[in-house]
Amino acid sequence: MRVSDAEELTDGDPVEVAVENARRKARAIDAEPPVLGVDTVVHLDGVLYGKPADAGEARATLTRLSGRTHAVVSGLAVVEPDAVRTAHATTRVTFRELDAATLDWYLATEEWRDRAGGYAIQGRGAALVAGIEGDYLNVVGLPVQALLELLPGILHSGAAPLR
């Protein structure tokens, strides 16, 4: 896995933003194709929430998500020598009502760093979640079902490895 330094979109339709950011990330990696790019955004009330810049922004984001249902949208892009193929997945996540003590506790874990929406459902962030509708792995950051639909041969022997 390599981290791309591609400039990311931060505003617009959540599916279009996530897919375009995934495309940009894949194209920015200097490797032999195929290259997989993935991007995840959190969407609520017309606002996209990416990775918070600091604890204050993480607190503000988590406060907005508290007691509400938001969408987690991931875009995938596979760059091949002759084509770019894309897919996306959307999962609805409902947060519990978060009081100040819970927010303080979670922010102190620093798990919010480098996480779209400021939380990691696969870690301590699970304590913030009341329920989900859809692909759990999408919320983790890689929607495996969408990946398998995009690259159905990936599980078969002889499939080209992704970079």
| 115 vs 113: CA distance, rounded Å | 5
* Rg of the Cα atoms in the chain: 16
Q: Which residues are catalytic?
A: 39
* Residues near 26 by beta carbon (within 8 Å), at least 6 away in sequence: 4, 35, 36, 37, 77, 78, 79, 84
Query: Which residue pairs from 118-123 have beta carbons closer than 8 angstroms and sit at least 24 positions apart in sequence?
Result: 118/49, 118/51, 118/52, 118/57, 118/58, 118/61, 118/62, 119/62, 119/65, 121/93
